Amino acid sequence: MTDEQVLIPRHVAVIMDGNGRWAVERGLDREEGHRAGRHAARRFMRAAQARDIEAVSLYAFSTENWARPTPEVDALMELIETALLVELQELCRHGVRLKVSGRRWELPAPLQRALSNAEEATAANDDMILNLCVNYGGQVEITDAAKEIARLVAAGELQLDDIGPDMFGSYLYVPDLPPVDLLIRPGGDLRVSNFMLWQIAYAEFYPMTEYWPDFQPEHLDAAIAEYSRRQRRFGGLALDD
pLDDT in tens, 164-180: 999 999 999 999 999 99
**Banded pLDDT at 149 (limits 50, 70, 90):** very high
Rounded average pLDDT over 226-241: 78
Q: Which residue has the higher pLDDT, 235 or 146?
A: 146
Q: Would you say residue 222 has pLDDT above 70?
A: yes
Report how far apart the first and last C-alpha atoms of the chain are (Å, whole number). 16
For residue 232, name the pLDDT band (cuts at 50, 70, 90): confident
17 is catalytic: yes
1 — pLDDT class (breaks 50, 70, 90):
very low
Mean pLDDT of the region 29-46? 97
pLDDT of residue 238 exceeding 70 = no
Write out pLDDT tens, residues 187-221.
999 999 999 999 999 999 999 999 999 999 999 99
Count of all residues that appear for the chain in the document: 241
**Per-residue pLDDT for 237 more than 90?**
no
Q: What is the mean pLDDT of residues 210-233?
A: 96
Backbone dihedral angles phi then psi of residue 133, each to the nearest 5 degrees: -100, 105
Catalytic residue among 29, 52, 65, 117: 65
Strands 96-101 and 11-15: unpaired
| Nearest alpha-carbon partner for 140 in 74, 63, 208 | 63
Determine the Cα–Cα distance for residues 125 and 178; give it in Å rounded to an integer: 17
62 φ, ψ (degrees, to nearest 5): -95, 165
- Statement: residue 2 has pLDDT above 80: no
Q: For residue 50, what pLDDT is reported?
A: 98
Give 70-127 pLDDT, tens digit per residue.
Answer: 999 999 999 999 999 999 999 999 999 999 999 999 999 999 999 999 999 999 999 9
pLDDT confidence band for 241 (50 / 70 / 90): low
Residues paired with 98 in a beta bridge: 130
Catalytic entry in 17, 19, 131, 181 = 17
DSSP state of 214: G
131 is catalytic: no
Cα separation, 181 vs 239, in Å, equals 20
CATH superfamily of 11-229: Decaprenyl diphosphate synthase-like (3.40.1180.10)
Residue 39 CA, chain-centre distance (Å), reads 16
